[in-house]
Structure 1
Amino acid sequence: MRRLLPGSLAGRIILVLLVGLMAFHVGSLWLHQTGSDILLGNTQQKVTSERVAAAARAIGMVPPDAREAVSQALSSPGFQVRWQSGAATGATAAQDLATTARLEAEGAVNLPDGSHLWYHADPLQAQPEHATLLSTTAMAFGILVLGLLVVRLIARPLRELSGAADRIGRPGQTVTVPEEGPREVRQAAQAFNRMQARIDRLIADRTQALAAVSHDLRTPLARLRLRAGFLEDAEVQRQVDADLDEMEAMIGATLAYLRGNEEQEEVRSADVAAMLQTLCGDAEDMGRSVIYEGPSQARLPCRAIALKRAFANVIDNAVKYGTSARVVLADCGRELVVHVDDAGPGVPEEQLESVFQPFYRLEESRNRGTGGSGLGLAIARQAIGHHGGSVTLQNLAGGGLRASIRLPRPA
C-alpha cells in the first residue's frame, strides 16, 4: 500500500483531493439520477391524473354520439384517449372527476353513466444529463485547481525549510527561513531559525577556541625547538627535532580539519591541470616518483587553496604508502575526474571507507617511517565534498590503490 502512495506531501494531498472529488462526483451523479427518477415518476402520475380527469369531464358533458369525436380531439401525440360504451372490466372507477388519485400511464376509468374512458400517456422524458454532468465536472475541476494552488502554498515553506536545512554545514553565509504560512509551518520555521542561530554561535565559539589552541600549542613547541638547539648530542637533537616536526604537523592537520568551512575562501576560476602539475613537480623535486598525465589546462570555479590541499593530501598518501604516484586528469566537460594510482599493497576491502574517518590509520602505517596523523584523506574528502565532488578508493586488479576524485562543473 505504501508503494502506491506518492513520496511527497504535495502528492499525497493531491491524491486525497482526487479520491475525494471522484467520490463526490459519482455520489452527486447518483443522487441526481435517483432524485430525477422519483420526481419524474410523481410528475407522471399527477399529470396523467389531471389530464384523464379533464378528459372525463369534457366527454361527460356531450351527448353519447359525439363523445368519440371529442375523445379524438382531446388526444395528442403524448396522450391518447378513447371513449367506449359499457363499463371497463377491472378498470378503476373515477367517482369524482376532480379526484387527485394517482393513475398509471395506461388504463381505463369508468364514467358515471356506465361507459368508460381508455387512456394512454407516454412516459415523461428526463432532461439531457449533459448540462448536469458538465456543471459537476467544471465544479470538480475548479476545486482541484484551487486545491493544487493551496497545496503549493503549503508546500513552499516546507521546501524552503528543507533547502535551508540542506545548506547547514556548507560553505557560505547561513540564510534564515521566512517565518510565514500556516501556524504549524511558522512554528517549525521559528524553531529552525533558533536552532540555526545556536549552531552558528557554537561554530563561532569553536573557531575562537581553535585559534587560541593553535597559538597556545605552537608557542611551547617553538620554545622546545629553541632549547633542543643547545643539546650537545647531535643524534638526540635530530630525534627531538623530528618529534617536534611531527607534533607540529599533527597540530596543523588537526586544526585544518576542525576549521572545515571556517576558511571562507572566495570561489574563483582556477586551472586544476596546472595545480596538479605543480604538486607533481614539487614531489619530484623532493625525490619522489610522481608523474602527471592529462591536458595542459582544465579550468574550474573552486576554492583553489582548499582544493590544492586536498590534492596534496591524496598524492602524499599515495607516495607514503604506495612508493609512487601516477596522477591522471580527464576533462569530461560537465566534470573533472582525477585518478591517483600508487604501487603499494592496497587497502583491505572492508577498510576502504574507514580510512576516510578522522584519525583512522591502518596498523601497518603506525610507524615513524610513514608518519601521518590520520587526517589527510578526511581533509581531502571534506574539501572536495564542499565543491560538490566525491573521493573514493579502489584496489587495482594488478596491485596498488586508486583514489578517484570527481569534481562537477557548476551549471
Structure 2
Amino acid sequence: MAARVMGTLPEEVREAAARALSTPAFEATWSRSAPAASADDTALTPLRERLQRRAPDLAGLRLGLGLAAPPDEGPRRLQGTMHLADASWVSFTAEAPDVAPAPAHTSLPSLSAMALGIVLASLLVVQWITKPLRRLALAVEDFGRGAAPVPLPETGPREVQEAARTFNAMQARIHRLVADRTQALAAVSHDLRTPIQRLRLRAGFLDDAEAQRAIDDDLDEMEGMVESTLAYLRGETESEESRQADLAAILSTLVDDATDRGASATYAGPDRVPMRLRPVAIKRAIGNLIDNAVKHGGNARVTLEEAPGAVMVRVEDDGPGIPEAALKAVFEPFHRLDASRNRGTGGTGLGLAIVRQVVTTHGGTVTLANRREGGLVVTVQLLRQYASGYDGKTGSSSVLPSSMPPPGMG
C-alpha cells in the first residue's frame, strides 16, 4: 500500500505521505536515490517469495529484504526496499519475524566437508568408547572358557574403567578359589594312594581267598576313581602347549591300542588331518569315548570327517544307549548311570566330564545321541583354530592352552 500510494503522489509530498503511513510497527521513508545498504538477505528468500504470492504487485517492485543490525535493547527488525516505477525508492523497517539466519557456509563442498568432519569425529569417539568394551567382552569370553586370568587394562570412559576394575577383581577371586579347591582335591586324591596300597598289602596276608579277591576288587575300584579324579584335576592345572598335530594319526593310534587289548574298534576317515590342538588332552578325551563305547556298547566305530574350518569326530557303538532324559546329565562330574556303570564295567562318572572339559577348551562342542539302529553316537566338533587366552596388552585373543573350571563351576 505504501508503494502504491507514493507512486501516485507528486514527489514533494511523498516524504510527508511516508511519515503519515508509518506506525510504531512499520516505518516507511522515501528517497530519490538508492539506499546506502541494499537489503538482500538470502535467508529471507522464503519470506520474500511468500509475500509476493500474497501481494503479486510486489514482484514488479524488486522487493529486497534484510535484517537490520539489532539495537542494544529491543527486538531485531526487518528492513526492506522497493523500487518505484520512476526510479525512486521506498524503504521500510518492521518487526522481524522469527526467521533463522542462513548458515555462513551454504555451498555444497563446504557442507560436505563439515559433514565428513562430523562423521570422522563421531567414529573416533565411538571407537574410543567401544574399544575397551570389546576388550572386556573378549576377556569375559576367554575367562568363561577357563583361560588363565589376565588383568584387563583399565582405560576408556570412567564407566568402562569401573567395569574393567570390577572384572579384574572378580576373575582374581574366582581364580584363587578354583586354584585352592583344585589343589585341595588333588592333594586328597593323591594321598589316598598310600592307604590303598597299604590295604592291598594287608589283604595279601588273608587266608580267605574269596575275601582277598573281594577286597582287591574294591581297592581296584577305589584306585580307578583316584586315577580318574587326578586326570580330571590335571586338566585344570596342566599347561600343555597347543601345537600342530595329526588328528587322524591320533585316532588311528587309539583304535589300534583298543584292538591290541582285544576290543572291537575300527577307524574310518582321512589318512592325515593336520591341525592345531593339544595332542595329549585330545588323546585322553577321545580315548575315554572309545573306552566307554567298548565297555558299554561292545564295540567302537570311530569316524573322522573334515568340514570348512572344523573337523567332526564320531564314536558309535551298538550298546543299549542312554535314556534321553540323561543325555545331558552324563556330562556332569561323578554322574553315573546304574544301567551302564557297575563294578564289572568300571566307571567313575568322570570320563565324559573330561571329554567335555577338553573339547570346550579347544572351542569345540560334544553331543550325545541314541542311534535308531541301537547304540550311542558321540559327536565331537573341533575348530581348526581355537582361541583361548586373552592378551590384555594388545586386546586380542591368541591360541594358547587353557583349562576348564572345576566341577560345579562350568
Q: Which TM-score applies when normalising by structure 1?
A: 0.69
AA in 2 matched with 1:247? M
1:121 aligned residue: 61
**Matched residue of 2:241: which SS?**
coil
* 1:1-56 Cα shifts (integer Å, max 9, x gaps): xxxxxxxxxxxxxxxxxxxxxxxxxxxxxxxxxxxxxxxxxxxx9xx76x986996
Give matches, 1:10-409, under 5 Å: 59-60=11-12, 95-96=16-17, 101=22, 102=26, 121-124=61-64, 132=106, 134=108, 139=114, 142-170=117-145, 172-332=147-307, 334-409=309-384
**Matched residue of 1:406: which SS?**
strand
Contact 1:274 1:296 in 2 (8 A): yes
How far did 1:147 drift? 2.5
- Between Structure 1 and Structure 2, whose CA radius of gyration is higher? 1
How far did 1:348 drift? 2.2
Q: Distance in 2 between matches of 1:103 and 1:150?
A: 52
Q: Distance in 1 between matches of 2:365 and 2:271?
A: 23
Q: 1:274 to 1:203 in 2, by over 3 A?
A: same
How far did 1:332 drift? 3.3
* 1:108-162 Cα shifts (integer Å, max 9, x gaps): xxxxxxxxxx996244489999964846675455434322321221111111111
**Matched residue of 1:365: which SS?**
coil
How far did 1:259 drift? 4.0
Contact 2:154 2:164 in 1 (8 A): yes
Q: Distance in 1 between matches of 2:182 and 2:18?
A: 105
Question: Which runs of no fewer than 5 residues in structure 2 stay unpaired?
Answer: 29-56, 67-100, 387-410
Q: Which TM-score applies when normalising by structure 2?
A: 0.69
How far did 1:277 drift? 1.7
- RMSD, aligned α-carbons: 3.3
Q: Distance in 2 between matches of 1:219 and 1:300?
A: 41
**Matched residue of 2:321: which SS?**
coil
Question: Which runs of no fewer than 5 residues in structure 1 stay unpaired?
Answer: 1-44, 62-92, 105-117
Q: 1:286 to 1:165 in 2, by over 3 A?
A: same
Contact 1:359 1:374 in 2 (8 A): yes
Contact 1:392 1:405 in 2 (8 A): yes
Higher relative contact order (CA 8 A, sep 6+): 2
**Matched residue of 1:168: which SS?**
helix
* 1:254-297 Cα shifts (integer Å, max 9, x gaps): 23224433111111222222222222122122221111222222
* 1:293-342 Cα shifts (integer Å, max 9, x gaps): 22222222211111111001111111111111111122335322111110
Contact 1:180 1:186 in 2 (8 A): yes
Contact 1:365 1:371 in 2 (8 A): no
Contact 2:333 2:350 in 1 (8 A): yes
Q: 1:129 to 1:164 in 2, by over 3 A?
A: closer
How high is the sequence identity, in percent, across the aligned residues? 52
Contact 1:289 1:324 in 2 (8 A): yes
AA in 1 matched with 2:160? V
Higher normalized helix content (fraction of residues): 1
Contact 1:53 1:98 in 2 (8 A): no
* 1:53-92 Cα shifts (integer Å, max 9, x gaps): 69967x339xxxxxxxxxxxxxxxxxxxxxxxxxxxxxxx
* 1:177-196 Cα shifts (integer Å, max 9, x gaps): 11112222111111111112
Contact 2:19 2:27 in 1 (8 A): no
**Matched residue of 2:339: which SS?**
helix
Q: 1:146 to 1:333 in 2, by over 3 A?
A: closer
2:49 aligned residue: none
Contact 1:171 1:264 in 2 (8 A): no
Q: 1:383 to 1:97 in 2, by over 3 A?
A: closer
Q: Distance in 1 between matches of 2:147 and 2:222?
A: 32
1:70 aligned residue: none
Q: Distance in 1 between matches of 2:147 and 2:367?
A: 25
Q: Distance in 2 between matches of 1:181 and 1:130?
A: 36
**Matched residue of 1:296: which SS?**
coil
Q: Distance in 2 between matches of 1:97 and 1:279?
A: 111
Q: Distance in 2 between matches of 1:153 and 1:240?
A: 68
**Matched residue of 1:254: which SS?**
helix
